[in-house]
Chains A and B, each alone.
Chain A
Amino acid sequence: MGGALLTLFLVSLAVFSISLLMGGDAAEAILGQSATPEALAGLRASMNLNAPPYLRYLEWAGGLLRGHLGTSLITGLPIAEMILPRLASSLQLAGLTALVSVPFALTLGIIAAVKRGSFLDRAISMATIGIVSVPEFLIATIAVLIFAVTLHWLPALSSSRDIFSVTDLIRVFAMPVMTLSCVVVAQMIRMTRAAVCDALDSSYVEAARLKGVSPARLVLGHALPNAIGPIANAIALSLSILLGGVIVIEVIFNYPGIARLMVDAVSTRDLPLIQTVAMIFSATYLMLVTVADIVAILANPRLRHR
Chain B
Amino acid sequence: MTTSIPITPAPRKGVRPRFSLVLGAVIVGFWLVVAVLGPMVAPHSPGQVVDLDVFSPMSSAFPLGSDYLGRDVLSRMLVAARYTVFIALIATLIAAACGIFCGLVAASGGWPDAVLSKVFDTVNAIPSLMFGLVVIASLGASTTVLIGTLALVFTPGAFRTARALALNVTALDFVTVARARGERLPYIVVREILPNVLGPLAADFGLRFVFVTLLLSGLSFLGLGVQPPIADLGALVRENIAGLGFGSSAVLVPAFAIASLTIGMNLLIDAVSARRAGGGR
Assess whether A248 is in contact with B222, with CB atoms less than 8 Å apart. yes
**Contact at B134–A15, with CB atoms within 8 Å?**
yes
CB neighbours (8 Å) of B140 from chain A are 23
Chain B, residues 122-133, CB within 8 Å of chain A (1/0): the string is 110111111101
In the complex the two chains form, what is the Cα distance from A142 to B131 in whole Å? 27
Pick the contact of B214: A130, A135, A278, A285 (CB < 8 A).
A135
A145 at the interface (CB under 8 A from B): yes
Closest beta carbon of chain A to B88's beta carbon, Å: 12
Tell me which residues across on chain A come within 8 A of B263, comparing CB atoms. 129-130, 133-134
Q: Are B138 and A265 in touch, CB under 8 angstroms?
A: no
Q: Scan residues 211-234 of chain B and give those whose CB is less than 8 A from a CB of chain A.
A: 214, 217-218, 221-224, 234
Are the C-beta atoms of B244 and A136 separated by less than 8 Å? no
A103 within 8 A of B: no
B136 CB–A CB distance under 8 Å: yes
Q: How far, in whole Å, are A6 and B125 apart by their CA atoms in the complex?
A: 11
Q: A197-B9, A271-B138, A281-B127 are contacts. A14–B241 as well, Cβ < 8 Å?
A: no
Number of A residues near B (Cβ < 8 Å) is 56
**A240: which B residues are within 8 A, CB to CB?**
127
Q: From A9, which residue of chain B is reached at the shortest CB distance?
A: B122
Residues of B within 8 A of A110 (CB): none
Q: Answer whether residue A7 sits at the interface, using C-beta atoms and an 8 A cutoff.
A: yes
Max chain B Cβ within 10 angstroms of own Cβ: one of A6, A116, A149, A281: A281
A138 and B125 contacting across the interface, CB-CB below 8 Å: no
A91 to chain B, nearest CB (A): 15
Interface residues of B in 224-281 (CB under 8 A from A): 224, 234, 237, 241, 244-247, 251, 255-256, 258-259, 262-263, 265-267, 270, 281
Question: Does B8 reach chain A (CB closer than 8 Å)?
Answer: yes
- B contacts with A: majority SS: helix
CA distance A96 to B73 in the complex (A): 38
* Contact of A134 (CB < 8 Å), options: B8, B137, B224, B259: B259
With CB as the reference atom, state the residue of chain A lying closest to B119. Answer: A10
Q: Which of A142-162 contact B (CB under 8 A)?
A: 144-145, 149
Identify the closest chain B residue to A20 (Cβ): B138
Asked whether A7 lies within 8 Å of B127 as measured between CB atoms, the reply is no
In whole angstroms, what is the CA distance A248 to B80 when docked?
Answer: 21
Q: Is the CB of B266 within 8 A of A197?
A: no
When the two chains form the complex, which single residue of B7, B217, B221, B244 contacts A145, counting CB atoms closer than 8 Å?
B244
Q: Does A282 contact B (CB under 8 A)?
A: yes
Contact of A135 with B135 in the complex, beta carbons under 8 Å = no
Query: Do B125 and A286 touch (CB < 8 A)?
Result: yes
Pick the residue among B121, B128, B137, B222 that contacts A251 (CB under 8 A): B222
Instruction: Indicate whether A105 reaches chain B with its CB closer than 8 angstroms.
Output: no
Query: Is B6 located at the chain interface by the 8 A CB criterion?
Result: yes
CB <8 Å contact, B221 and A248: yes
From B9, B131, B259, B270, A138 is in contact (CB under 8 Å) with B259
Within the assembled complex, what's the spacing in Å between the Cα atoms of A144 and B33?
33
- Please give the number of chain B residues whose Cβ is less than 8 angstroms from any Cβ of chain A in the complex: 52
**Given A135-B259, A266-B133, do A10 and B122 touch, yes or no (CB 8 Å)?**
yes
The one of B12, B136, B218 in contact with A266, judged by C-beta atoms closer than 8 angstroms, is B136
Contact with B along A114-132 (1 / 0, CB 8 A): 0011000010000001101
Complex CA gap A262/B137 in Å reads 10
Known A135-B258, A243-B130, A244-B130: A7·B121 in contact at CB below 8 Å = yes
CA distance A266 to B136 in the complex (A): 8
- A132-B266, A149-B244, A271-B138 known; A278 and B258 CB under 8 Å? no
Residues A282 and B133 in contact, CB atoms below 8 Å apart: no
Q: Across the interface, which residues of A come within 8 angstroms of B147, CB to CB?
A: none
B245 to A149, Cβ gap below 8 A? Answer: yes
Per the bound structure, the CA–CA distance linking A18 and B136 in Å amounts to: 10
Say yes or no for A137: interface residue by CB 8 A criterion. yes
User: With a CB–CB cut-off of 8 A, which chain B residues contact A251?
Assistant: 222
- Residue in A closest to B215 when the chains form the complex, CB atoms: A244
Name B214's closest neighbour in chain A (CB-CB): A135
Compute how far the CA of A262 lies from the CA of B131 in the bound complex, rounded to whole angstroms. Answer: 11
Shortest distance from the beta carbon of B129 to any chain A beta carbon, whole Å? 4
Docked CA distance A15–B126 (Å): 9
B210 at the interface (CB under 8 A from A): yes
Residue among B12, B127, B267 with max Cβ neighbours from chain A (10 Å): B127
Encode contact with B along A188-208: 1 for CB under 8 Å, 0 otherwise: 001000110110010000000
Tell whether, in the assembled complex, residue B244 and residue A285 are in contact, meaning their CB atoms are under 8 Å apart. Answer: no
User: In the bound complex, what is the Cα–Cα distance between A190 and B218 (angstroms)?
Assistant: 23
* Most chain A C-beta atoms within 10 Å of own C-beta, residue among B7, B133, B234: B133
B245 neighbours in A (Cβ, 8 Å)? 149
Q: Could you say which of B137, B241, B259, B267 has the most chain A C-beta atoms within 10 Å of its C-beta?
A: B137
Alpha-carbon separation in the docked complex, A103 to B74 (Å): 43
Task: Across the A-B interface, give the 6 residue pairs with the lowest CB-CB distance, nearest first.
Answer: A133-B262, A194-B6, A10-B122, A22-B138, A244-B129, A266-B137
Q: Can you sample 8 A-B contacts with CB below 8 Å? A: A195-B6, A197-B8, A198-B7, A243-B130, A244-B128, A247-B133, A266-B137, A269-B137
Beyond the given pairs A286-B125, A289-B125, 17 more chain A to chain B contacts, judged by CB atoms under 8 angstroms and listed by A's residue number, are A7-B118, A19-B138, A129-B263, A133-B214, A134-B262, A135-B218, A135-B258, A149-B246, A198-B6, A240-B127, A244-B130, A247-B129, A247-B130, A247-B218, A266-B136, A275-B134, A285-B125
